[in-house]
Structure 1
Amino acid sequence: MTSNNHTLRRDLQGLAADLKWSAVELVRIADRLIQASDEPDAQALHRMIAMFQREESKLSSIVTEIEAGRLVQKDEASV
Structure 2
Amino acid sequence: MPLNKPNQDLRRDLQGLASDLKWSAVELMRIAVRLSEAGNEHDAQAVIRICQVMQAGEDRLVGYGDEVKGGSLGRSVHTKK
Partner residue of 1:46? 48
RMSD of aligned C-alpha atoms?
Answer: 1.2
Structure-1-length-normalised TM-score: 0.94
Partner residue of 1:74? 76
CA distance in 1, matches of 2:32, 2:21: 16
Partner secondary structure for residue 50 of structure 2: helix
Structure-2-length-normalised TM-score: 0.92
The one-letter code sitting in structure 2 at the alignment partner of 1:10 is: R
The answer to which structure has the higher helix fraction is 1
Q: Runs in 1 of length 4+ with deviation above 4 angstroms?
A: none
Number of aligned residue pairs: 78
CA distance in 1, matches of 2:30, 2:78: 41
Q: Deviation at 1:26?
A: 0.4
Picking from 41, 55, 58, the partner of 1:56 is 58
Fraction of identical pairs, as percent: 47
